[in-house]
Amino acid sequence: MAKLPFVVEPRLKPIIERIGNEDIGIIEIERKGYLTAAEKAFVQAQTGSDDASREMMALVRSVGSKYKVDFDAAYTLVQNAMQGIYDKKRDVIADFPEKIDKLIEVLQGSQTRRTVATAYCMLIYRVDSTIKLDDMLESDIEIINGLAKLFNEEEARSVERLKESDEKIETGGDNPAVDIEKKQ
């Protein structure tokens, strides 16, 4: 059968994902192919105060002032310094070691906070709204990372897994649940 020329393709039916394994436990959660407005708002509210941006802008201003360069050039110098790229004329790493270390620390904390917020969001909106954050934090990190990965795929509107499930059902597969497996 030829594929119809949809301007907007019909939504695929949600599937049940399994996150985890027998050793750490398995959580079943719905994959929709998108995030709801409430899910997006929840994560934005949890990660809204962005210390990383403030730290970055403070360092960029300091670099720009010290080397007498515009904002874009200072930003590039900071980005390069964070990647370990040295500039012989403007050694940002040597001139601002504490500020770079602090920025990297804040960025890592920001990423950890986002991972926890996205995983918790998936649990309370798609599994059980009574789950407490402390309960989730006591679970295995693989579960948390799997939930965060699902959030990120839903945020990107990835429908690959939904299509895979659809194909399995059409070809006679008996279980529409799909496991999120850790790729090695």
How do residues 32-45 score in pLDDT, each as one tens digit?
989 999 999 999 88
Q: Do the domain assignments include residue 64?
A: yes
In whole angstroms, what is the distance from residue 140 CA to residue 23 CA?
Answer: 10
pTM, rounded to two decimals: 0.67
Q: Do the domain assignments include residue 8?
A: no
| pLDDT for the residue 171 | 57
For the chain, strand residue ranges (E) read 15-21, 25-31, 178-180
For residue 132, count other CB atoms closer than 10 A to its CB.
Answer: 11
Q: Do the domain assignments include residue 34?
A: no
| pLDDT for the residue 17 | 92
Could you give phi then psi for residue 15, rounded to 5 degrees? -125, 165
Torsion angle of C-alpha atoms 138, 17, 108, 129, degrees rounded to 10: -50
| pLDDT for the residue 176 | 46
Q: Do the domain assignments include residue 28?
A: no
- With a CB cutoff of 8 Å and minimum separation 6, the contacts of 172 are none
| pLDDT for the residue 161 | 72
CA-closest candidate to residue 100, choices 83, 120, 119: 83
Listed as ranges, residues in the chain with pLDDT below 50 are 1, 175-176, 178, 181-184
Instruction: Supply the range of the domain harboring residue 147.
Output: 41-176
- How many domains would you assign to the chain? 1
52, 107 Cβ separation under 8 angstroms: yes
Q: Do the domain assignments include residue 46?
A: yes
Q: Do the domain assignments include residue 31?
A: no
Q: Do the domain assignments include residue 150?
A: yes
Cα–Cα–Cα angle for 131, 133, 139, rounded to 5 degrees: 85
16, 30 Cβ separation under 8 angstroms: yes
Q: Do the domain assignments include residue 13?
A: no
In whole angstroms, what is the distance from residue 128 CA to residue 33 CA?
Answer: 19
